[in-house]
Every structure is written in C-alpha cells, then in structure tokens.
Amino acid sequence: MPWVSTPHERPARFDVGVVGAGRVGAVLGAALARAGHVVTGVSAVSEQSLERAATLLPGVPVKPIPDVVAGAHLVVLAVPDDALADLVAGLSATGTFTPGQLVLHTSGAHGISVFEAAADSDIVPLAIHPAMTFTGTSLDLERLHDCCFGVTTVDLARPLAEALVIEMGGDPVWIAEEDRVTYHAALAHGSNHLVTLVAQSMQLLGEAGVEDPARVLEPLLSAALANTLQRGDAALTGPVARGDAGTVAGHVALLRKVAPDIRPTYLALARATAQRALLSGRLRASDADPLLELLAHEEDQP
C-alpha cells in the first residue's frame, strides 16, 4: 500500500464501493470520483437514495451490498450509527472483506473500535467523519471545501486518511479513539440543538406578529455566532449575563402563557448560561444568586 507522507503526495487511484447512497455517502462518493478515484458500485434501496445515486454518481451501477464491497480497494460505509457494527460483523462473517482492503466509515460517534468484529479480516480501518450538515445534493461538494473531517485510524494509515480528506476538499482534524464520543457529542450539541433553539426563537417572533422571523434573527444570530467562535464566553450579553432576574421572570411568565413547550428549554439554557457567566467572571455572585433562585423555583413548577 503506497502510504503517503505529505498532503501533496496523492494516494493511489482506488476502485471505490459506496455502501449507502444517503446524503453523506452519495456526496462523498462524488467527491472521491472528482478526485480521480473510480466508484465501481453503490448500494441504494429507497426512491430518494436511488435518485441521489443517479444524480451524484451517474453511470455507477447500483448493486447489493456484498457486490459493492467485493473487489473494491476502498469501501465507504455511510450508514446510520446504530447499524454500523452489525453491518461490519455481517460482512466479516460472510468473508466479504478482503485482506488489505481500506474500509472507511463516516460515523461521528464511532472510531475504529467498531471494526473489532472484522479484526480477522485484516482490513485497514478508517473513521472519517465530515463535520457538516448535508443536503445530499451537488451543493455539498463545494461546501466540503470549508469542512473539517474528524479522522481516527491506526497510526500507519493516518497519512493516507488525511490525504483522502484533502482530496475531497476538506481539512483533516485528528481525533484520538478515546475522544471520539466527546467529539461527536460536541458537534451534535452545537449543531442539532442550535436548530431547535433557532426554530423556537422563530416561533416566538411569529407569536409577536413578526411576518419574517428569519430576517430579524439572521443578523443577530450571525453576529452572536461569530463573536462566540472568536471570544468564547466573553461574547455573552443579555439579561442573564447582567443578572437581570426581573426581565428573566417576565420572559418565563410570558412563555407559560404563549409557548409552554419552549419554557423548559428557556429555563435550562438560562441556568446553564448563568453558571457559565458566573464561572467566567461575567456575572457577579451577588447578581447570580437571585437569578438562580428564580430559575430553580420555576423549574420546580409544572
């Protein structure tokens, strides 16, 4: 195997099999094809995945999973997190993997320990997770250029894994095996919960009669995100950071009436915000105490 030592040394051209033409698998297959590799097969079942395969991987035959894997130099397993271990075990038990085969999964939650069932197959395990939300369209191919990939593999394969990421247009970030769950929890907490938070804010603006909530929120949220990425907790502003318990009490009372489904989220985030502001020195203890007492009391209320 021609392991590479620098990003400028391109890995050998591989025959690639893509298992799962979901939003991630189809896009990464297309990115690898754009880099000069040959996608020899893809698995797809649903109407949506078949359409993605046809659009992003034109001319690539749709095959059963064992046929996609057999003969490929590089196998991309782009399946749901909870299905990955069973898939690896099944492919190993049936002798589908071949010795020396590169097997890459795209799960953020798993490192290479998920390949333990295939230890006797002598594969080269790669965990390469793109830290991006995918649409499953050609738009994602350009967005890969701004995307970091969490990379975990055996030491010998690290240069190759990083080179593959660079070929797809991404930026490799090394994640140790023992830190993989922490890495994924950070991404899920930041991105998935952000969607919930913003959607709830838009809901409240709608309750206030605002016709275009996104237009109101976009400049505010963009500035808050940029400031936080640059300054961390020092970017915090607002009533919680000021210890303004009266304003927070007004918010909570309002939410009880017009949006009771949002109230628990507000209380939980207000408490977490107050604690971070207190620990970072943004909020004085004398101002934090009445605010935390208010939040504790409200959290006890049905």
Sheet containing strand 124-130, edge to edge, reads 38-43, 15-19, 74-77, 102-105, 124-130, 148-153, 171-174
Pairwise CA distance, residues 196 & 157, whole Å: 38
pTM: 0.88
Share of the chain above pLDDT 70, in %: 96
Residue 160 pLDDT: 96
Question: Tens digit of pLDDT for each residue in 107-136?
Answer: 999 999 999 999 999 999 999 999 999 999
Q: How many Cα neighbours within 13 Å face the side chain of 200?
A: 17
Pairwise CA distance, residues 125 & 180, whole Å: 15
Q: Give SS3 for 131.
A: coil
CATH number of 15-175: 3.40.50.720
Burial class (CB in 10 A: 0-12, 13-18, 19+), 45: exposed
Q: Give SS3 for 245.
A: helix
Q: Give SS3 for 300.
A: coil
Question: Tens digit of pLDDT for each residue in 81-90?
Answer: 999 999 999 9
Mean pLDDT estimate for the chain? 94
Options 3.40.720, 1.10.1040, 1.10.287, 1.10.10; CATH for 183-299 is: 1.10.1040
Domain spans of the chain, in order of start: 15-175, 183-299
Pairwise CA distance, residues 105 & 263, whole Å: 39
Q: How many Cα neighbours within 13 Å face the side chain of 146?
A: 7
> Has residue 6 got a pLDDT over 90?
no
Question: Tens digit of pLDDT for each residue in 204-249?
Answer: 999 999 999 999 999 999 999 999 999 999 999 999 999 999 999 9
Cα end-to-end span (Å), the chain:
62
DSSP string, 55-78: HHSTTPPB--HHHHHTT-SEEEE-
Share of the chain above pLDDT 90, in %: 93
